Amino acid sequence: MKKILLFAITLSVFWFTFAAGTMDVPVTDPKMASSSIMPPQPTSQYVFDTTAVKDLVVKNNALLQINCNVTAIMKVLGFGSSTQKLFSVGIESNGFEYTFDIKNCSLWANKANNTYNYSKSLTEQQALDFAAVFMKDSYLKDKVYYQLGAPFIMYKNSNGPMYPLMKDSTATAPSGNDIEIDTTDTDGEVVPEYISFSVMYPYMINGQEVRDQYGNKIGIQLEVTADGVMSANARLLLFKWAKRTSEKVTGDDAVRMLNNGGNSPAYNLSAPVKLAAPQKVFVLFSLWRNNMNYNYLSSGIGLKSSIKVDQYAQQPYTMILSDYKIGNNVQ
């Protein structure tokens, strides 16, 4: 017990002496700073023109509630006006099974009686050609929103992992007494083969893009294989919209939200992301209220970058912010 008591007293004296000796050392003393303990932090992971953001976010504001036009949809599907309470309809036409989700104003289509065949590859141009043939079908034109921009490739899918090809002209083949190199075979480049592509025809309103809260473009999306279009989905059927009002985002709000990543923060960053000048876009978002889902379309801003989200996505990362606080996940 005496030894334990003596040790405790000694330890207390040591800590008192240490604290007293360091109490007057200023915390800003560069000798006390250590990069391993407190590395310098950037003020933001995102670099953008704050003045341009503040100026654009307060211009041309609009908030619209989207209501699926049940009467028009039932009419083009061949139903009478007595079907107002229908919220889902499935129809087979032209070799495709179409499911109309009237409650959420969206559509899904799948090729009927189809077995997916991913053993054959196709090129990007072949995928775009298949998509163009499918879109010429008049079946979709009078049933979904159809103001479309030029098609583009959203995703490329292969049978294996996809990585950028590294071409090194200085690389030399391995050599050794037991290895024989066929110098007559000069076709040495191996390129990935793609088994399917996701093609999108993007929606355009007054010449502006339509995106969701997470930066993704909205439109008619097709999955295409070597056998043609396998499936399609569209986020907007025929609809009406009604004007709404809500609290707007100020210029300072916008800068603060974007510094926090907006609605779609970029992850695993090794360096700050440089964002291009903001552009006006439309933002499609949903709100769940009174046990029902409501769709809204608001004005907003989009800031594009040069980085890809992952190795499969073909479109660059874009940060999106609605002009209205209710349309943003970040406050």
pLDDT in tens, 219-253: 999 999 999 999 999 999 999 999 999 999 999 99
Does residue 163 surpass a pLDDT of 90? no
Considering the domain architecture, whether residues 150 and 275 belong to the same structural domain is answered as no
Q: Among 301, 242, 251, which Cα is nearest to 276's?
A: 301
Residue 23 tokens, joined: 């109490």
Asked if residues 170 and 176 have their Cβ atoms less than 8 Å apart, the reply is: no
pLDDT band of 116, cuts 50, 70, 90: low
Q: Is residue 99 part of a domain?
A: yes
Q: How far apart are CA 272 and CA 186, in angstroms?
A: 42
Considering the domain architecture, whether residues 48 and 119 belong to the same structural domain is answered as no
Summarised one tens digit per residue, pLDDT across range 271-302 is: 889 999 999 999 999 998 888 889 999 999 99
Residue 34 tokens, joined: 């250590």
Mean pLDDT score, 188-217: 89
Mean pLDDT score, 102-127: 86
Average model confidence (pLDDT) across the chain: 81
**Phi (first) and psi of residue 292, to 5 degrees:** -140, 155
| Number of domains composing the chain | 2
* Domain interval for residue 141: 70-158+193-237
- At 93, which CATH number? 3.30.310
Q: Among 328, 105, 318, which Cα is nearest to 213's?
A: 328
CA distances to 72, 91, 181, 290, 321 from 263, rounded to whole Å, are: 34, 36, 54, 24, 6
Question: pTM of the entire structure?
Answer: 0.76
Considering the domain architecture, whether residues 212 and 101 belong to the same structural domain is answered as yes
Position of tokens 């499918």? 134
Residue 137 is predicted with a pLDDT of: 77
Residue 164 is predicted with a pLDDT of: 46
Mean pLDDT score, 89-100: 91
Considering the domain architecture, whether residues 61 and 75 belong to the same structural domain is answered as no
Residue 274 is predicted with a pLDDT of: 94
Q: Is residue 179 part of a domain?
A: no
Q: Is residue 106 part of a domain?
A: yes
**What are residue 230's DSSP bridge partners?**
none
Of 201 and 79, the structure prediction assigns the larger pLDDT to 201
Residue 39 is predicted with a pLDDT of: 39
Considering the domain architecture, whether residues 86 and 132 belong to the same structural domain is answered as yes
C-alpha dihedral, 97 to 102 to 104 to 105, nearest 10°: 80
> Beta-strand (E) ranges in the chain?
46-47, 63-68, 88-93, 96-101, 106-111, 152-158, 194-202, 204-205, 208-212, 219-225, 228-234, 239-243, 273-274, 279-289, 292-308, 316-322
Q: Is residue 129 part of a domain?
A: yes
Does residue 173 surpass a pLDDT of 80? no
Of 126 and 44, the structure prediction assigns the larger pLDDT to 126
